[in-house]
Amino acid sequence: MHIPDETVGRLFIYLRSIRRMLDQDKKVTSSEDLAASCGVRASVIRKDLSYFGRFGKRGVGYDLGALVRDIHAILKLNQMTNAALVGVGNIGRAFLRYPGFKAEGIRIAVAFDKDPRKIGKRIEDVLIEDATTMGERIESEGIHLAIVAVPPSEAQETLYCLAGAGVRGVFSFTPCPPKMPQGVRVTCVDLAMEMASLVYHLEPIRKPVS
């Protein structure tokens, strides 16, 4: 059965809301309460969950502990997925120090850079390795997920190298190059463009009429 991407994306929203409820010592919730918490219609929540089986009991609601475990399993967050980091500049270092990945079942296992001043150093117990060994190391480790934070001029070559090493998913903080490797899902985040978009959508400040 094909699961819509929108449904998968909303599961992460539900998971965040469920965790907040658990932090508040709640044990059970209804689709209406969950809908109010995450800003999604209750009918949409019920339809999304129906793709994966039966959840909750009529008149009782959802057991939050069981629901969070089920969604973890659906999203494959109940198993640790190793990732490779390419580019250990400011953004790359922030990724290595970010504690939230492990909570989502992601562990940065290897990191690469071409700067000889960085190679051989460790950040949060991750050794920074020579980027020239990237393809061989990723393939030998069986890694299929990568985070890319390299200059735009290096993005094309980096993506093709990762694809050749068996990577199937890339999260890039470098604008997407014109040619993308086939069979690899790439999400590109251009911080400058995203900020510029926010500026465009800001409501103009109206000056008081004198």
Comparison of pLDDT for 157 and 57, the residue scoring more: 157
Q: Which of 41-45, 50-54, 122-126 has the lowest mean pLDDT?
A: 50-54
3-state secondary structure of 16: helix
The conformation of residue 27, written as its DSSP 8-state character, comes to -
Single-letter amino acid code for the residue at 109:
A
Q: Which residue has the higher pLDDT, 2 or 206?
A: 2
**pLDDT score, position 206:** 53
Contacts (Cβ under 8 Å, ≥6 apart) of 117? none
What CATH number labels 5-74? 1.10.10.10
- CATH classification number, 81-195, choose in 3.40.50.720, 3.40.50.300, 3.50.50.60, 3.40.50.10320: 3.40.50.720
Which residue(s) pair with 171 in the sheet?
147, 187
Separation between Cα atoms, residue 165 and residue 176, nearest integer Å: 19
Whether pLDDT at 34 is above 70: yes
Comparing C-alpha atoms, which of 70, 77, 59 is closest to residue 18? 70
**What is the per-residue DSSP string for 52-119?**
T---SBTTTBEEHHHHHHHHHHHTTTTS-EEEEEE--SHHHHHHHH-THHHHTTEEEEEEEES-TTTT
pTM, two decimals, is 0.75
Give residue 1's pLDDT.
Answer: 64
Mean pLDDT, residues 14-20 taken together: 91
Is 126 or 57 the better-scoring residue by pLDDT? 126
Q: Is 145 helix (H, G, I), strand (E, B) or coil?
A: strand
Given a contact cutoff of 8 angstroms between Cβ atoms, the answer to whether 129 and 112 are in contact is: yes
**Does residue 210 carry a pLDDT above 70?**
no
Q: Is 207 a residue whose pLDDT tops 60?
A: no
Instruction: Give pLDDT, residue 205.
Output: 58
Domain boundaries, the chain: 5-74, 81-195
pLDDT at site 160: 94
Mean of pLDDT over the chain: 89
**How many other β-carbons are positioned within 10 Å of the β-carbon of residue 201?**
7
Q: Containing H/E element for 189?
A: none
